[in-house]
């Protein structure tokens, strides 16, 4: 019989409804019967026993809130009767020993990737066109229009076909009702064989709103981020467009590239508009150089590589009350598997680690890493409070509606993405990973800003969990979308790749789901599976300006 309720951790004093529970309904868990006092929607929590005002609320084995007033046993926990509370953190009590999962079934497994001269291996092969400043965005847009479709990239055939059918209907005197309701057919999507360069996965334009007008620190961080993309294993080379007078100088970009790749030797074309002169001359030169770079990039083909060359970024967005008990712990187990195989994992979103900092501090391999994590978290929290905000304001209306009523509840579930392995390094934005194992990267909780940063740090696959549905993608790295519940998987099947609602339904364990996800990652890394975000051309790219973004 399918379980109706769940206590996530033996030390918890709240339970999660796995389905809607009606007032007065009883449900059994671990030999005990619980009766709810009121309607408890699926994904939400109810009190295990009576709470008095000020009593601690525990979930995932940690403090996640305090009762604002009395809550009866079986009563629904809401933002009206529970306020955010989280445990503090102190110096590390090192607990880096961990029980490594059995990886025998992946022994000797490889994926098919693009090998780079620095020893890294890409899961894709892209050419980048990058503006140093927003003043160059229009030039990028002109190049994008001139090159993308003629080269055979994009997904425009399907939608252009639909639009053309509707336009023809208007031209032929169709009524408003006919335009609104007449069925139109899909056109033929572009295939790899139609590309001029079949071994190049795409030409991507990293349009952004930065590079000048902000602080010098903003310019430095932007150059570091862009350098992370240029040196990324999924990138064959880049065309850089500079106006010339902006804060984000080419010299800074070159310094940041050198930091990440001392022996950098990819094809890199840099154009300065104020030196070249006429816009027409600039664009013609940029297109010539870009096409020459694409010709060289097309010579690289996929070759076998060990799984240790995979770097996974861990992300969640549009989370719900099931995220922390299905999708997040599932990819946490995937993370542990990959770390055991010599791979690399990146856990970010520091505002969404509130209340579990001590666990991560204790998992750091040395005091230096623990101290750096502690300092970065404290500084981030302080900056948020200085502008009248705080980590407690992180949950979105959608999070709250679906059961994540405090930041600590959200954070305790979000941290499950990092599995149980030791923390080998702590990075500040936009640093690049250099050590295999679990890395912590300081980013905001904003989905796109964080995903953008994880890729700049070296993620060549991103696992993105969601309970409400989000289309987030990235220009150069496949973002695998994983639903926490089967209802979402069925409802938004066009943007979701994997369902872990099977855990909620009792059809598989967290470990089984984690293994299934790793097998999927290997196929994605090999180019055997095109994930939804790639298929839709979901090229989200937002640099973080180090302001307060929760």
Residues 384-397 have pLDDT tens digits of 788 777 676 667 78
**pLDDT for the residue 356:** 92
Task: For residues 465 and 176, give the distance between their C-alpha atoms in angstroms, rounded to a whole number.
Answer: 40
Flag whether pLDDT at 550 surpasses 70.
no
Q: Are the beta carbons of 89 and 167 closer than 8 angstroms?
A: no
Sheet order of strands, 235-242 included: 202-205, 126-131, 235-242, 267-272
441 phi, psi to nearest 5 deg: -120, 125
Indicate if the pLDDT at residue 424 is higher than 60: yes
What is the average per-residue pLDDT within 13-20?
96
Percent of the chain with pLDDT over 90: 83
Length of the chain, in residues: 550
| Contact residues for 190 (Cβ-Cβ < 8 A; gap 6+) | 152, 153, 154, 155, 156, 157
Q: Which two tokens stand for residue 417?
A: 């993405």
Distance, in Å, from the CA atom of 323 to the CA atom of 77, rounded to the nearest integer, reads: 18
d(CA 414, CA 51) in angstroms, rounded, equals 26
Considering Cα of 396, then 399, then 400, then 406, what sign does the dihedral take?
negative
What pLDDT score does 494 carry?
94
DSSP 73: T
Per-residue pLDDT, averaged over 480-491, amounts to 97
Among candidate residues 432, 447, 433, the one with its CA nearest the CA of residue 544: 447
Each residue's pLDDT tens digit, 54-73: 999 999 999 999 999 999 99
- Lowest mean per-residue pLDDT among 144-148, 375-379, 397-401, 419-423: 397-401
444-462 pLDDT per residue, tens: 999 999 999 999 999 999 9
Structure tokens at 233: 């294993």
Which range has the worst mean pLDDT, 59-73, 82-96, 189-203, 489-503? 82-96
Helix (H) or strand (E) holding 297: helix 279-297
- d(Cα 223, Cα 247) in Å, to the nearest integer? 10
Distance (Å, whole) CA 261 – CA 263: 5
Alpha-helical regions (H) of 73-186: 137-147, 156-171, 176-181
Which H/E stretch holds residue 203? Answer: strand 202-205
DSSP string, 337-376: HHHHTT-EEEE--GGGGTT-HHHHHHHBSSHHHHHHHHHH
Sheet holding 437-441, edge to edge: 423-427, 437-441, 344-347, 311-316, 461-466, 479-483, 498-499
Taking the model in full, what pTM does it have? 0.94
Smallest CA-to-CA distance from 297 within 431, 125, 472, 440 is with 125
Domains of the chain: 5-83 (2.30.130.110), 115-155+190-301 (3.40.50), 311-535 (no CATH)
**Beta carbons within 10 angstroms of residue 512's beta carbon:** 14
Q: Taking 60 as the threshold, does the pLDDT of residue 1 lie above it? A: no
**Confidence at residue 235, expressed as pLDDT on a 0 to 100 scale:** 98
Rounded to the nearest integer, the mean pLDDT of the chain is 93
* CA nearest to 482, candidates 246, 468, 305, 190: 468
Residue 53: count of CB within 10 angstroms of its CB: 11
80 to 13, 65, 451: CA distances (angstroms): 18, 12, 33
- Which one has a higher pLDDT value, 90 or 345? 345
Pair type for strands 110-115 and 126-131? unpaired
Tell me which of 19-28, 175-184, 393-402 is least confident.
393-402
Residue 212 confidence (pLDDT) above 90? yes
**Mean local confidence (pLDDT), 351-378:** 93
pLDDT (tens digit, 9 = 90+) per residue, 230-281? 999 999 999 999 999 999 999 999 999 999 999 999 999 999 999 999 999 9
For residue 271 the two structure tokens come to 């154009």
Q: How many C-beta neighbours within 10 Å does residue 382 have?
A: 10
pLDDT for position 2: 81
- The neighbour count for residue 231, using CB atoms within 10 Å, is 24
How far, rounded to the nearest angstrom, does the alpha carbon of residue 407 sit from its chain's CA centroid? 19
């Amino acid at each position: 019989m399918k379980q109706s309720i769940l206590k996530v951790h033996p030390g918890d004093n709240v339970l999660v409804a796995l389905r809607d529970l009606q007032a007065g309904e009883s449900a059994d868990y671990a030999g005990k019967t619980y009766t709810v006092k009121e309607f408890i929607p699926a994904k939400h929590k109810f009190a295990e026993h009576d709470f008095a005002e000020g009593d601690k609320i525990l979930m995932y084995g940690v403090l996640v809130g305090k009762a604002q007033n009395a809550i009866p046993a079986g009563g629904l926990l809401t933002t009206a009767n529970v306020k955010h509370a989280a445990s503090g953190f102190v110096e590390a009590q090192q607990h880096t020993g961990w029980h490594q999962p059995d990886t025998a079934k992946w022994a000797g497994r490889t994926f098919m990737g693009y090998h780079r001269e620095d020893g890294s291996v890409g899961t894709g092969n892209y050419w980048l066109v990058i503006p140093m400043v927003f003043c160059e965005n229009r030039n990028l847009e002109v190049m994008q229009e001139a090159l993308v479709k003629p080269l055979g990239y994009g997904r425009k055939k399907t939608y252009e076909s639909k639009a053309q059918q509707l336009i023809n209907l208007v031209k032929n005197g169709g009524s408003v009702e006919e335009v609104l309701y007449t069925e139109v057919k899909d056109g033929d999507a572009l295939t790899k064989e139609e590309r001029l360069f079949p071994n190049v996965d795409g030409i991507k334009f990293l349009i952004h709103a930065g590079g000048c007008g902000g602080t010098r620190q903003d310019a430095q961080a932007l150059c570091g981020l862009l350098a992370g993309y240029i040196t990324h294993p999924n990138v064959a080379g880049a065309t850089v467009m500079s106006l010339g007078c902006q804060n984000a100088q080419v010299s800074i970009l070159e310094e940041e590239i050198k930091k990440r790749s001392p022996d950098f030797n990819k094809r890199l074309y840099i154009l300065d508009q104020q030196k070249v002169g006429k816009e027409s001359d600039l664009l013609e030169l940029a297109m010539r150089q870009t096409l020459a770079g694409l010709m060289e990039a097309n010579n690289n083909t996929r070759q076998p590589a060990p799984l240790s060359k995979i770097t996974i970024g861990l992300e969640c967005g549009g989370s719900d009350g099931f995220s922390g008990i299905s999708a997040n712990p599932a990819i946490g187990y995937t993370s542990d598997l990959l770390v055991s195989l010599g791979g690399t994992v990146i856990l970010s979103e520091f505002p969404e680690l509130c209340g579990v900092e001590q666990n991560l501090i204790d998992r750091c391999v040395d005091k230096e890493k623990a101290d750096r994590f502690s300092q970065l978290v404290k500084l981030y929290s302080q900056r948020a409070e200085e502008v009248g905000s705080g980590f407690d304001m992180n949950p979105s209306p959608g999070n709250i509606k679906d059961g994540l009523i405090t930041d600590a509840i959200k954070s305790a579930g979000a941290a499950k993405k990092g599995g149980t392995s030791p923390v080998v390094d702590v990075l500040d934005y936009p640093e690049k990973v250099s050590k295999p194992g679990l890395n912590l990267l300081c980013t905001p909780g904003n989905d796109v800003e964080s995903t953008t940063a994880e890729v700049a740090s070296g993620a060549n696959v991103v696992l993105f969990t969601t309970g409400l549905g989000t289309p987030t993608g990235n220009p150069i790295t496949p973002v695998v979308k994983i639903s926490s519940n089967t209802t979402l998987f069925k409802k938004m099947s066009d943007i979701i790749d994997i369902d872990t609602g099977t855990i909620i339904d009792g059809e598989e364990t967290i470990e089984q789901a984690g293994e299934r996800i790793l097998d999927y990652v290997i196929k994605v890394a090999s180019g055997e599976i095109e994930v939804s975000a790639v298929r839709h051309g979901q090229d989200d790219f937002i640099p973080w300006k180090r302001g307060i973004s929760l």
